[in-house]
Amino acid sequence: MDNFYKELGKRINYYRKASGETLEQLGKKIGVGKSTIRKYEKGMIKVSHDRLEQIAKALDVDVSLLYGEEISNDVVDVPLYGSISCGDGAVIFEEKEGYVTSPKDWVDKGLYFYLTAQGDSMIGAKIHEGDLLLIQRTEEVENGEIAAVVVENECVLKRVYRDNGSFTLVSENPNYKPIHFNPSTDKNIRIIGKLKKAITQF
């Protein structure tokens, strides 16, 4: 997990102990188990802005204290658009499902959005079902980069390899066959972005 969430977790731990709350007590106040609070404090899972506000209210502190004064202005809400298939394909959802609060230095240049991984075709790249995938919107990717690709109105996450104008989409799981296409003739296939970060969900 990124250092941002580890530092955030340290502050949650500090203010929880300062307020005299146990893991279990804080968990009950915000509707989660004590194991989830422990994971928040260890920076093992992300904490949304809405959840952080719940924690701040439960601990009777301003949410800016949990963010830390030095980073309170360095976060941004990035839109979450449905799911992306890491298997045989999943229909793209055009409408936003919500937002994911993220450090600004993750999205310093260009347009970004999140998708949720489905399936097991990218397990070799340590991408598992349910992971949050930060995608930079672009149609250009380097050889071997992992990209989000629309294939006949379905979206898949694959490594992209170029060869004389043609493309091959390769999974990180031998159970899935490569997909070959030529963008000049296969109009139903297009690259919509490249993977910048995968956030494991516990």
pTM confidence score: 0.61
Buried b (16+ CB within 10 A) or exposed e, 97-120: eebbbbbeebbeeeebbbbbbbbb
Residue 102 known to be catalytic: no
CATH number for the domain including 162? 2.10.109.10
What percent of the chain has a predicted confidence (pLDDT) above 90? 31
What sections of the chain are H helices per DSSP?
A: 3-19, 23-30, 34-41, 49-59, 63-67
Shared-domain flag, residues 141 and 185: yes
Shared-domain flag, residues 48 and 82: no
From 83, 85, 102, 158, active-site residue: 158
pLDDT tops 70 at residue 91: no
- Please name the residues in contact with 135: beta carbons below 8 A apart, sequence gap of 6 or more: 84, 112, 113, 114, 115, 148, 192, 193, 194, 195, 196
pLDDT tops 70 at residue 168: yes
Shared-domain flag, residues 159 and 175: yes
How many distinct structural domains can be found in the chain? 2
From 83, 85, 102, 121, active-site residue: 121
Q: What is the Cα Rg of the chain in Å?
A: 19
Residue 158 known to be catalytic: yes
Shared-domain flag, residues 48 and 81: no
Tell me which of 67, 91, 122 is where a domain ends: 67
Tell me which of 22, 44, 67 is where a domain ends: 67
CATH number for the domain including 43? 1.10.260.40
Band (152; pLDDT cuts 50, 70, 90): confident
In this prediction, residues 127-148 reach a mean pLDDT of 91
DSSP class of 153: T
Band (23; pLDDT cuts 50, 70, 90): very high
Shared-domain flag, residues 99 and 34: no
Give residue-wise pLDDT tens across range 97-126: 888 878 777 887 788 989 988 889 999 999
pLDDT tops 90 at residue 174: yes
CA distance 9 to 37: 9
CA distance 139 to 128: 24
First to last CA, the chain: 11
Shared-domain flag, residues 83 and 62: no
Shared-domain flag, residues 48 and 96: no
Tell me which of 20, 50, 67 is where a domain ends: 67
The range of the structural domain enclosing residue 10 comes to 3-67
pLDDT tops 50 at residue 144: yes
Band (92; pLDDT cuts 50, 70, 90): low
Band (180; pLDDT cuts 50, 70, 90): confident
Band (183; pLDDT cuts 50, 70, 90): confident
